[in-house]
Amino acid sequence: MQIGFVGLGKMGGNMVHRIERDSDHEVVAFDPNADAVSTAEGHGASGAATLEELVSKLDAPRMVWLMVPSGDITESTIAKLADLLEPGDTIVDGGNSNWHDDQRRAKELEPKGIHYADVGTSGGVWGLDVGYCMMAGGPDESIAQLAPILDVLAPPDGWRHFGASGAGHFVKMVHNGVEYGMMQAYAEGFDLMHQSEFPIELKEVAGLWNRGSVVRSWLCELAELAFKQEGNDLKGLQGYVDDSGEGRWMMNDGIEMAVPTPALAASLYARFYSRQEGDYAARVLAALRNQFGGHAVKKVEET
């Protein structure tokens, strides 16, 4: 089958590579960066210099997969495609959109007869080799048309269709929220062991836990690799942890739906704290302790 690919960065480029390498599907590939298009052509894709050319090279009903940064770029790309595509075509957002945006977009595209599907992807840089775990949402007919592509992108039996537009990114959002909680659980454990009186080698703990313990997991395998590479003290790293948005969205949804997510909250706030967010609150605490007296407060040094 044919598919258009918009966005040939690390993720999109690898996906095109995997499709061309492992199947007979035809990919028409576009990216504002001409080098990325050339690379895709090198893997066997048909390059396009513009969105218009990409659309013109595809037979209806067209399937166009977006792998572009979430937010404004995704919005504007969808707006342009909405003008170029025809009824029966499908836009697939393979990026990291909020599922509420998916629902809005599907509704906005409906009057034009254009379908909207969303695919959440987990697997990172290993996807090229082992395949991407894919969570899909959208109309049945769009997903049916997309299935051969998902079959080649995913490992065996490695994708699922979870419902109408938005369902894919919803499950992916929850996946990431669970990931936050698992990572924080390990981090608290390794922290306590590192501060303890015992001379514990954390790479040994992570490795051992992966051989038969209840907490064995891929993240624990990564932890073993990390301690091997970075050493027991992780001296080369700063304790500064970004968040990519999905954890916040999941907390918001939990609040909206009255589902308590305290482990996720702990995990997200731990990342905020790692970035010194909350420092002003701490100064308020110091100021109050200063007021009721008897407590030493650290003043900023005079210079």
Place of tokens 């990216």: 31
Q: Does 112 bind its own copies (CB under 8 A)?
A: no
Q: Are 48 and 8 in contact (CB under 8 A)?
A: no
| CB-based contact 115:91 (threshold 8 Å) | yes
User: Which of 10, 57, 107, 172 does the annotation list as catalytic?
Assistant: 172
- Residue 125's H or E segment, with its range, is none
Q: How far is the CB of 1 from its own copies (least distance, A)?
A: 22
Residue indicated by tokens 């095109």: 16
Under rule CB under 8 A, residue 266 binds its own copies: yes
Q: Identify which of residues 6 and 136 has a Cβ nearer to its own copies in the complex.
A: 136
Helix, strand, or coil (residue 158): coil
Active site residue 172: yes
Residues 127-186 binding its own copies (CB under 8 A) are 127, 130-133, 135, 137, 154-160, 162-164, 166-167, 170-171, 174-175, 177-186
Distance of CA 59 to the CA centre of its chain: 30
Dihedral through CA 249, CA 252, CA 253, CA 254, nearest 10?
120
Choosing from 35, 59, 298, 303, the residue that interacts with its own copies (CB under 8 A) is: 298
Virtual CA dihedral for 260, 264, 265, 270, nearest 10 degrees?
160
Question: Applying CB under 8 A, which part among 64-72, 76-84, 85-93, 230-238 lies near its own copies?
Answer: 230-238
Smaller CB distance to its own copies: residue 109 or 264?
264
Q: Is 283 in the site for its own copies (CB under 8 A)?
A: yes
- Should residue 72 be labelled a site residue for its own copies when binding is judged by CB under 8 A? no
Residue 224 CB, shortest distance to its own copies, in Å, is 10
Q: What is the DSSP letter of 258?
A: T
Please give the positions annotated as active site.
Answer: 172
